[in-house]
Structure 1
Amino acid sequence: MGRYEGGNKEMKKRALLGVTLLTFTTLAGCTNLSEQKSGEKQTEVAEAKATESEKAPVKNVIFMIGDGMGNPYTTGYRYFKANHSDKRVPQTAFDTYLVGQQATYPEDEEENVTDSASAATAMAAGVKTYNNAIALDNDKSKTETVLERAKKVGKSTGLVATSEITHATPAAYGAHNVSRKNMAEIADDYFDDQIDGQHKVDVLLGGGSELFARKDRDLVKEFSQAGYGHVTDKKSLKENQDDKILGLFAPGGLPKMIDRTEEVPSLADMTEAALQRLDKNEKGFFLMVEGSQIDWAGHSNDIVGAMSEMQDFEAAFEKAIDFAKKDGETLVVTTADHSTGGLSLGKGDQYNWLTEPLHAAKRTPDFMAEEIIKNGNVEKTVTEYIDFQLSEAELKAVKTAAESKDVEKIAQALRKIFDERSNTGWTTGGHTGEDVNVYAYGPQAEAFSGQIDNTDQAKIIFGLVDGTGQKAEIKDKGIGK
């Protein structure tokens, strides 16, 4: 691994050097004294703004994770938002706030590409660990998380996800376990593992109802008796007024955005509901929001689902940014835990990636495959959910897959159609090891700039939620530290 020496002092030096070079360039182009003074004035204003931002306190932290959202996804979504006739590709809501990148590798004896549990533990607790670990180090000792630190200092806390709320990423912030697979134990941990007599997480919104209402234990009842509101759909989420809430909107993960009915809340809906509750605490809050199923689409090599989930995550991101802009004391940090699928925007010898076929999909291939199993009619299903006519070869491939009565085989046949028509490529059904983007807005956002390690996320945030309101001094910030 490469080593990048750094820290906040070095960052300041680089920033000041950049400002100095900009000033010299401006002065070199000046034709008179007034232009020189104007350039100096602009530099002074820039330095003053930087100093003001650095000193601003942080009351609230919203940490957003697009699971599996590597650069091909953010770039692909940019293309997806454009019209084919556009000469320029428009920005997404994320682009304005790009500040750097982070490394994602784990500390695992056998693997050097991370899973979501190890990556989330790094970002939540500031330690490298083995794949599958939920907020444990390599000795299997519990590691304090930024959510737990926030609760200790009197802040409110929340977890929001489109997966089961006990899935790897949210679990690493609010629980501890030797394996991400033990989701029933993780659900127990949310209730049993308390801080100063209080449940650690005030707002829990996502999927996984079957993990809370079990034969061996009814956690829904226990949370309700402890003062939590319990909601199961978009309407009840909107109507509920409880400060603490357990929202479980599906037995497992939520349907992807493109497949949802009106009864299921979006990630933006859940984010807004969480912020409304957490903002009542005068001491502030810590909220983690995950767009979980960007990753799931990547594992399935489903480009339709991937763009759907990027859209869902962007809408939630905009809710967070809007809140932070109005509030003035809220830091929003957004990143990914890793990339998934080895997504390629273009393949073979064609210099094209075409999004029109993706916009023609009204549902994901998985959804359509399940419908074909239910109704036994391939032509009716593809006509209803795809706004282009399949070729004879494409239709034959889906019908052949349908004969197997296997949902996954049918979905694969449908995914291949969208891949071929859009010129989308994939290299794996697993994760990939490249760095991922970091976006930040609000007070102390500059602390996350440049090339950092995923553990730096927690190291910095610990210093922002522990009651001091000051930036953490990370002497060994960067890769390999």
Structure 2
Amino acid sequence: MGMSLGKKLLLINAAALTCPGTINLAAETEESGNFYTYTTPENIIFLIGDGMGIEYVSAYRYLQDDARTAIVDDTAFDPYLTGMQSTHADDPEANVTDSAAAATAMAAGVKTYNSSIAVDNDRSAVQTVLEAAKAQGKATGLVVTSEVTHATPAAFAAHVADRQNMRAIADDYYDDRIDGAHKIDVLFGGGRDLLIRSDRNLVEEFQTDGYSYVDSRVELRQNRDSRVVGLFADRGLPYSIDRTNDVPSLAEMTESAIERLSRDDDGFFLLVEGSQIDWAGHDNDIVAAMSEMADFEQAFQTAIDFAQEDGDTLVIATADHSVGGLSVGADGYYDWDGDSVRTARRTPDFIAREILTGADVQETLDAYIGIELRSEEIAAVRKAARTEGFSATDDAIEAIFDARSHTGWTTDGHTGEDVPVYAAGPGRTQFAGHIDNTDIAKKLFRLLGADADITDE
């Protein structure tokens, strides 16, 4: 007797999901008519590379490729590519989204205006997937390299009309409760100045409620408590390539958060953001952008490693938008040369600050750029430092890397193209194909078995 189409599709689907480098979902898959259902994952790790358009992944693939091999090597993301998502906002003045509107869409399943933090166009609060997870008794966490009150993490755990009001966001983290409990169990990132203030010390208030506080990499490693606030810079963390040993990497913060949250018998929801891919794109800084891509990739791999061992964790990674109009190849050259980016030891920002504090221009460039420079390149930096200040000096250094690598940029703002979606674990195929950013939240609500006040369109 011939095999039914449904069973053939099921076998094809299961085979695809057991290929090398992916998590086996066959055990979680069952036939249901022409559809497939999945057991609800106990844990969800949602990673957002802020500004990580597909061109950033492509450039990073070139950068980390081993030239000795015959084919271009995959990034850690590539085996888990599941689909693409659209990113537009519902803003009367701008259809290209900012991080706040995009995060609100992915956190709550609603389109809204730019600058909104988990509020609809009428400024009413909308439930987020983190809040739904907490209502089910799950442990929750936010891990970022920006301020913990920045737009993306805020949209999962606060409700504020304007993303710029980061003090109100910080207050919301403490004041707004779910069934009397704090929404966030683990909070890691920057933003000391926003939680430890002259008018209110939220760290002390959290400590009164049983939280620990850490502010260095050493303290993060030594502390074992389940509920903890970790703030490692006054505002955003330094770019990954510029960090000192006292500042943890995104992967280290992610691993620490997972270890704490996974103790909860009801499971956990963790939001991880590689925040400063976006900041580098705004600055048109290819060195910083690739540094942050590496930092985010390591955090993604940390989540995948846990999910593979755990077997009951859904991992999703995507971007909120792209930024900068990055082109992998520019000025008519059919060659993106990552050698100059690969050998950089610090970002142009770091190098410019060193020069403007009195360091010799050529010695500083030689120390941190890692390639032999032309006299005209050194002269351009020297002139900018002598007469035009930080921004011009930074731009002159960035121009060296752009010219050498054939990197192009079209804007210092966001761009509106679709962005990739990567997923692994129970429910992975729910995110396949082309979806909207609001679909992320809608599908997460369903996987959580939570009722959300959203309308499917």
What TM-score do you get using the length of structure 2 for normalisation?
Answer: 0.92
Q: Measure the CA separation in 1 of the matches of 2:25 and 2:90.
A: 40
Please point out which of 277, 282, 285 is paired with 2:260: 277
Corresponding residue of 2:247: 264
Q: Percent of aligned pairs with the same residue?
A: 55
Quote the offset at 1:56 in angstroms: 2.6
Corresponding residue of 1:31: none
> Is 1:367–2:346 an aligned residue pair?
no
> Is 1:305–2:284 an aligned residue pair?
no
Please point out which of 183, 190, 196 is paired with 1:207: 190
Deviations 1:37-64 (A, max 9, x none): xxxxxxxx99887428843331000000
Corresponding residue of 1:56: 39
Q: Where in structure 2 are the equivalents of 1:11-22 lying within 5 Å?
A: 19=9
* Residues 121 and 136, structure 1, Cα contact 8 Å, conserved in 2: yes
Quote the offset at 1:463 in angstroms: 1.6
> Is 1:288–2:267 an aligned residue pair?
no
> Is 1:152–2:131 an aligned residue pair?
no
Deviations 1:408-427 (A, max 9, x none): 21110000000000000001
Please point out which of 78, 88, 97 is paired with 2:71: 88
Corresponding residue of 1:251: 234
Code of the residue aligned with 1:125 in structure 2: it is: A
* Structure of higher CA gyration radius: 1
**SS of aligned partner of 2:357:** helix
Quote the offset at 1:86 in angstroms: 4.2
Quote the offset at 1:19 in angstroms: 3.6
Please point out which of 115, 126, 136 is paired with 2:109: 126
Judge which range, 132-141 or 369-378, deviates more. 369-378
Corresponding residue of 1:430: 413
Code of the residue aligned with 1:113 in structure 2: it is: V
Code of the residue aligned with 2:207 in structure 1: it is: S
Q: Measure the CA separation in 1 of the matches of 2:175 and 2:413.
A: 33
**SS of aligned partner of 1:460:** helix
Q: Where in structure 2 are the equivalents of 1:347-426 lying within 5 Å?
A: 347-404=330-387, 406-426=389-409
**SS of aligned partner of 1:51:** strand
Deviations 1:58-109 (A, max 9, x none): 1000000000000100111110011345442100110000110000001001
Deviations 1:149-173 (A, max 9, x none): 1111111100000000000000000
Judge which range, 383-392 or 125-134, deviates more. 383-392
Deviations 1:1-24 (A, max 9, x none): xxxxxxxxxxxxxx959949989x
Corresponding residue of 2:20: none
Cα–Cα, structure 1 residues 58 and 346, in superposed 2: closer, same or farther, change >3 Å?
Answer: same
Q: Measure the CA separation in 2 of the matches of 1:216 and 1:46.
A: 51
Quote the offset at 1:143 in angstroms: 0.2
Q: Measure the CA separation in 2 of the matches of 1:21 and 1:235.
A: 48
* Residues 66 and 73, structure 2, Cα contact 8 Å, conserved in 1: no
**SS of aligned partner of 1:89:** coil
* Residues 54 and 446, structure 1, Cα contact 8 Å, conserved in 2: no
* Residues 119 and 337, structure 1, Cα contact 8 Å, conserved in 2: yes
Q: Measure the CA separation in 2 of the matches of 1:283 and 1:22.
A: 33
Corresponding residue of 2:18: none
Corresponding residue of 1:28: none
Code of the residue aligned with 1:145 in structure 2: it is: T
**SS of aligned partner of 1:375:** coil
Q: Measure the CA separation in 2 of the matches of 1:185 and 1:154.
A: 25
Judge which range, 442-451 or 76-85, deviates more. 76-85
Please point out which of 208, 213, 220 is paired with 1:237: 220
Deviations 1:117-159 (A, max 9, x none): 0000000000000000000000000000000111111111000
Q: Measure the CA separation in 1 of the matches of 2:392 and 2:280.
A: 16
Quote the offset at 1:350 in angstroms: 1.2
Please point out which of 189, 204, 207 is paired with 1:224: 207
Q: Measure the CA separation in 2 of the matches of 1:19 and 1:237.
A: 47
**SS of aligned partner of 1:224:** helix
CA RMSD of aligned residues (A): 2.2
Corresponding residue of 2:159: 176
Corresponding residue of 1:193: 176
What TM-score do you get using the length of structure 1 for normalisation?
Answer: 0.87
Q: Measure the CA separation in 1 of the matches of 2:371 and 2:26.
A: 55
Deviations 1:281-318 (A, max 9, x none): 10001100000001111000000011100000000000
Q: Measure the CA separation in 2 of the matches of 1:342 and 1:332.
A: 28
